[in-house]
Amino acid sequence: MKSKLAITALCLLPLASQTAFAEEKKASELTMSAELGFLFKSGNTKSGDIKAGFNLKHKKDQWTNLFAINALAKKLEEKDEETGDKEFVTTDNKWDLKAQTNYTLHENGKNYLYGNLGYQQDKFSGFESQSSLSAGWGRHWIDTETSSLFADIGPGVKYDVIRATDTELQTEETNFILQAQALYTTKINEFVEFKQYLVAKQTFESGKNSVYQSETSITTKLIESMQLKFALRIDYDTEVAPEFENTNTETSLTLVYNF
C-alpha cells in the first residue's frame, strides 16, 4: 500500500515534464520556501528541539502543483534509575508530507479538479503511520489583492497502521473517506500575513478513525526573503487506544526563507 501511494505521489507532481523556462511560450512560476526553528535548554534540564519544513509551489498554464514536508524532533536528557547515568532519549519524532495537483477547468477560471496525497509518521502517537489519497472538485472562492480562499472536497481512501500496545497487536485499517479542506490567506498589512488551513478526513463507516487538522499561522516579514512565522497546529483523531490522546497540539516559532 505504501509503495502504491509513493508511486501516486510521483504521478501527482508532473514537474519533470516541464521544459526550460526560456523555451516556454508562457512562463511558469516556481516558488519555494524553507523554515527552521531550534530550542536548546541547559542547566537542570537539558533538551533540544528542532522543527523544519519545506514548501514548493509550481504553476504552469492551468496546472498548479503543491508539495509540503514538515518534521519535528525532540531529545531530552533523562537519568537512568538503575545506573544513575544520564543520557538523551527521543521524546518526540514525527514528520508528514502533503502533495496536491490542481487543474483549473477554464483558463483564469475559479473551479478546479484536484488530486491529493497525505502521509504522516509519529513515533509517539497511536499510529505507526497514516496515509490518505483523495480526488475531487474545488473552487477559488476569494481572489483579491489582499485575500484568497481555496476550498475543495472529494472522496478518497485512508490507510492507517495502528500501533501495538500492551494488550493489542499492530493492526492495519483501510477506510473510504470524504475529504474536505480549505486554505484562507489574508495580508493584514505590507509586512504581516495570516493563514488558516483546515482539513477533515471523515470515514463513511461508524466507529472508524476520522482525522481533523487545523493550522493557524501569522508570518511577519523581516527582510525581503526572510520571515518570522508563529504557528499553532491541532491534530484530532476520533478513535485511538486508551493510552493515547485524541488531540495533539503543536506551537512553533520558526524562521522562513523564500527562494
Q: Where are the domains of the chain?
A: 2-11+57-69+94-258
pTM, 2 dp:
0.82
H or E stretch covering 3: helix 2-12
| Strand pairing category for 47-60 and 147-162 | unpaired
Per-residue pLDDT of 19-29, as tens digits, reads: 333 344 345 69
Residues 183 and 150: beta-carbon distance below 8 Å: yes
Question: What span, in angstroms and rounded, lies between the C-alpha atoms of 83 and 89?
Answer: 15
Q: Which three cell numbers stand for residue 211?
A: 482525522
Arch. (CATH architecture) of 2-11+57-69+94-258: Beta Barrel (2.40)
Residues 72 and 95: beta-carbon distance below 8 Å: yes
Residue whose C-alpha cell is 496515509: 131
| Residues in the chain where the model's pLDDT stays below 70 | 1-28, 41-46, 84
Output the pLDDT for position 41. 62
Output the pLDDT for position 49. 87
Per-residue pLDDT of 137-150, as tens digits, reads: 999 999 999 999 99
Question: What span, in angstroms and rounded, lies between the C-alpha atoms of 182 and 214?
Answer: 10
- Mean pLDDT score across all residues of the chain: 86
Output the pLDDT for position 78. 75
Per-residue pLDDT of 57-96, as tens digits, reads: 999 999 999 999 999 998 887 777 777 677 777 777 899 9
Question: What span, in angstroms and rounded, lies between the C-alpha atoms of 142 and 137?
Answer: 16
Residue of 108, 109, 127 lying closest to 118 (CA atoms): 127
